[in-house]
Structure 1
Amino acid sequence: MTPAELIRYLVLAAQREGNRQLGHALRALGLTPAQSEVLRILGEHEPLTLSGIGELLVCESGSNPSRLVDRLVSAGLVERVASAGDRRQVTLTLSPEGRQAESRVREIETALYARIDAALEGVDTEPALELLRRLSTGQPAGEALAKRLAATEAAR
């Protein structure tokens, strides 16, 4: 296997394992990893439009996460609110139940990150982070992550 091929498969294996662990923990909440990402985005940046959520999503390609949001609205976790200035413009916010679910998702993610931190103990992560940045920069998921990081920094 070439180094590029090995990196590709190691990234894929790590992503799948992380998603498997996250999915297992989220099952108790009746959420998928993609749905939990929408809740986390709203928890950090609400109110947002559907396209605003799509710009920040790393888990899904495309800028219109309507099916994800529709399921969360049906579950009572997300509310659609008509804009005061333009009734055609709809913003999305967390419902009270959605806030509780988002809080639980944060707890689940914190536990996952603790397991990752334990695996990284004693490892210089900067070269790996630089490699992953180079591989994702200019790509749709990388751009979504960059926007999300910028929005998080701006909110601080």
Structure 2
Amino acid sequence: MRAAEELRYLILAAQREGNRLLAQALRPLGVTPSQAEVIRVLGEHGPLSLNGLGELLVCESGNSPSRLADRLVTVGLVRRDVPPYDRRAVELSLTEEGVRLGRRIAEVEEELYRSIDAAAEGRDLEPVLGFLRAFVGDLPAGQALARRL
């Protein structure tokens, strides 16, 4: 197996396992990893238009986030408001329940990050991070991540 192929599969395996672990930890909160990302982005950057939200999502990069937002509005975690300055626009923001859930999601994510930190202990991640930033930098998901940073 060539190095590029192994790298591709290692990235895929890491993404799938990380997402599986995150989904398992989020299950008791009643949200998926994609829904959790919307809640966290709105909590950190909201209120946002649907387009503004889409520009910051890695999970739905290149696709409309409307399906995720609709579901979160339906369950009372996200609110849709028409801003007074543009009655044609819609702004998305978290409800009080969404803010509370966002804090719990942050705790779940922090636990996952601690396990990743433990796995990386004693290793210099900067070369890997630099490579991955360069690899995805010009792609939609990489650009969404860069806008969030």
Q: Same fold (TM over 0.5)?
A: yes
How many percent of aligned residue pairs carry the same amino acid?
Answer: 60
Q: Cα RMSD over matched residues?
A: 0.8
Paired position in structure 1 for 2:69:
69
Q: How far, CA to CA, are the matches of 2:77 and 2:4 in structure 1?
A: 41
Q: How far, CA to CA, are the matches of 2:37 and 2:116 in structure 1?
A: 18
What are the Cα deviations for residues 4-61 of structure 1, in whole angstroms up to 9, with x where unaligned?
Answer: 0011000110010000000001111110100000000001011100000000000113
2:80 paired with 1:59:
no
2:94 paired with 1:94:
yes
Q: How far, CA to CA, are the matches of 1:28 and 1:116 in structure 2?
A: 21
Scaled by the length of structure 1, the TM-score of the pair is 0.93
Work out whether residues 81 and 91 of structure 1, in 8 Å CA contact, stay in contact via their aligned partners in 2: yes
What are the Cα deviations for residues 87-140 of structure 1, in whole angstroms up to 9, with x where unaligned?
Answer: 111101100100011011000000000000000100010111111112101011
Could you tell me which runs of 5 or more consecutive residues in structure 1 were left unpaired when the two chains were aligned: 150-156
Secondary structure of 2:80's partner?
Answer: strand
2:61 paired with 1:44:
no
Could you tell me which runs of 5 or more consecutive residues in structure 2 were left unpaired when the two chains were aligned: none
Structure 1: 4+ residue segments shifted above 6 A: none
Q: How far, CA to CA, are the matches of 1:129 and 1:36 in structure 2?
A: 23
Paired position in structure 2 for 1:33:
33
